[in-house]
Amino acid sequence: MAMDVLRDAKALERAGRSIIHLELGEPGVAAPRPVREAAAESLRNGSIGYGEALGDAPLRDRIARHYRERYGVDVTPDRVIATTGSSGGFLLAFLAAFDPGARIAVTAPGYPAYANILSALGLEPVLLDIGEETRFAPTAAMLEAAHHDRKL
């Protein structure tokens, strides 16, 4: 779905239309210089390969330390997962938060991966149609109506 929108948007762009791309969540600016330099160094020294399944250990250590220092929350690094993208994070969050068969409210329009991941996990996405009239946010009435049909 998102790739179809991207294809159509690119066609409009080639036809001379000015397009603001919101379909994939790609960064609008280049990666910061230190990130580019670290990537180049990794290529030079041959240290490119699979990373740890739960994410880079020093990064997870630093995230745990940040939670201790900033929020006073004692989180051990083994409780931190750093995913390589949002879809992996959504997958883990949905598995942790919802029981099999649960009905989950999802806005339409919205990020297509939500409904796709929920469905793949055996959860039921319940689409809430939003738009300008709702300021592109679900309303309490929408949630109540969806919940009335069957528990969300």
Run of H or E including 35: helix 33-45
pLDDT score at 11? 95
Residue 117 has a pLDDT of 92
Residue in this structure with the two tokens 């250990």, named with its chain if needed: 57
Strand-pair partners of 126: 105
pTM over 0.85: no
State the pLDDT at residue 1.
Answer: 64
- What percent of the chain is helix, strand and coil (3-state, nearest 5)? 50, 10, 40
Question: How many Cβ atoms sit within 10 Å of the Cβ of residue 115?
Answer: 20
pLDDT at residue 49 in the model: 83
Q: Where do the structural domains in the chain lie, given as residue ranges?
A: 52-82, 85-152
| Backbone dihedral angles phi then psi of residue 108, each to the nearest 5 degrees | -135, 115
Q: Which residues of the chain have pLDDT under 70?
A: 1-2
